[in-house]
């Protein structure tokens, strides 16, 4: 499907924000993603949906390689070929009164759409975000603007708790009854090892198709092999098998 760039701006560090106009009617849950065709790159680039409304999608992405570098150079009103939406997204029907959202780096992006969806249900999550440094901290102001309690961790201690998301979560002394998380694999694994409560985690792997036919992104789960793109990217903590 065709989507038109209406905004593409640098936030801070490696992070960019792109807003596109196009069909959003297929998006059913926060935490779904899009697969973006980039001219000059053979494979599409999977990017999580940060936020959406009835005619636009907001993507937050880090420039990490050739594809996202090319994306950062794109200008409105360029038209992009995008598969949208892909993946299962977060299940917000789980009964929870005091959920916590745990985001690491650019993994914070899909948690914004999730926070808004939870608030629409009358649930106010706490938000704990971790970044490499103050300069690399992104999107936290969006959660502050929603009026949510936001706790920060930076690896170098330049903002909030020195350490990781897990450290800031402990220090905040939150009495959470459920967690939703997205971030780098080591962070997600640490959460699975240390969180005493149940939760859902959005994974990131290298993908080819993005819609479940090539098996390039499959992981082991308690329900057998599962493509992160189709059966995920969101999995329940209890489903994941870490090796």
Partner 1 sequence: MGMNRDLQVSLGSLTLKNPVIPASGCFGFGYVMAPYYDLNTLGAISVKGTTLDARFGNPLPRVAECPSGMINSVGLMNPGVDKVISDELPKLRDVYNGPIIANISGFSVDEYCETCRRMDGQPQVDILELNVSCPNVHGGGMAFGTSAENIAKVTSAVKKCTRTPLFVKLSPNVTDIVEMARAAEDAGADGLVCANTFLGMRIDLKTKRPVVANVMGGFSGPAVFPMALRMVYQVSRAVNIPVIGCGGVMSADDILEMMLAGAKAVEVGTANLLDPMACYNIVRELPAAMERYGIDSLSSIKPI
* Positions in the binding site for partner 1 (CB under 8 A): 37, 41-44, 83, 205-209, 211-220, 224-225, 230
| Cis ω before 6 (30° cut-off from 0) | no
Nearer to partner 1, 144 or 215 (CB): 215
Question: In 23-130, which ranges are continuous DSSP H helix?
Answer: 66-72, 109-120
Nearer to partner 1, 14 or 111 (CB): 14
Smallest distance from partner 1 to CB 156, Å: 22
CB of 100 to partner 1, least distance (A): 28
Q: How far is CA 168 from CA 89, 92, 99, 153, in A?
A: 25, 24, 15, 6
In angstroms, what is the minimal distance from the CB of 11 to partner 1? 23
Minimum Å distance from CB 105 to partner 1?
17
* Integer angstrom CA distances of residue 126 from 115, 143, 178, 199, 221: 9, 9, 11, 14, 28
The residue among 37 and 119 lying less far from partner 1, judged by its C-beta, is 37
**41 vs 155, beta carbon nearer partner 1:** 41
Cβ 227 to partner 1 shortest distance, Å = 9
Q: Which is nearer to partner 1, 165 or 229 (CB)?
A: 229
The reply to whether omega before 106 is within 30° of 0 (cis) is no
Q: Which is nearer to partner 1, 71 or 217 (CB)?
A: 217
CA proximity to 84, closest of 108, 64, 55: 55
Contact 172, 127 (CB under 8 A): no
CB of 117 to partner 1, least distance (A): 23
- Residues 129-166 as b/e (b if ≥16 CB within 10 A, e otherwise) read bbbeeeebbbbbebbeebebebbbbbeeeebbbebbbb
């Amino acid at each position: 499907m065709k989507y038109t760039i209406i905004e593409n701006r640098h936030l801070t560090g490696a992070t960019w924000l792109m807003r596109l106009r196009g069909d959003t009617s297929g998006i059913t849950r926060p935490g779904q993603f899009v697969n973006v065709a980039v001219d000059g790159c053979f494979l599409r680039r999977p990017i999580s949906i940060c936020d959406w409304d009835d005619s636009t999608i907001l993507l937050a992405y880090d420039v990490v390689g050739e594809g996202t570098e090319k994306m950062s150079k794109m200008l409105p009103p360029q038209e992009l070929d995008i598969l949208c939406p892909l993946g299962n997204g977060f299940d917000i029907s789980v009964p929870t009164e005091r959920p916590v959202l745990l985001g690491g780096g650019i993994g914070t992006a899909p948690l914004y759409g999730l926070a808004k969806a939870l608030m629409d249900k009358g649930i106010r999550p706490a938000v704990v975000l971790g970044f490499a440094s103050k300069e690399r901290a992104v999107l936290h102001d969006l959660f502050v603007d929603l009026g949510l309690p936001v706790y920060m961790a930076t690896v170098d201690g330049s903002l909030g708790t020195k350490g990781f998301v897990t450290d800031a979560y402990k220090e905040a002394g939150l009495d959470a009854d459920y967690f939703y998380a997205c971030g780098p694999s080591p962070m997600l694994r640490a959460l699975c090892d240390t969180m005493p409560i149940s939760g859902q985690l959005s994974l990131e792997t290298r993908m080819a198709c993005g819609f479940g036919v090539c098996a390039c992104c499959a992981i082991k789960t308690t329900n057998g092999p599962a493509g992160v793109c189709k059966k995920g990217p969101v999995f329940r903590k209890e489903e994941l098998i870490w090796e």
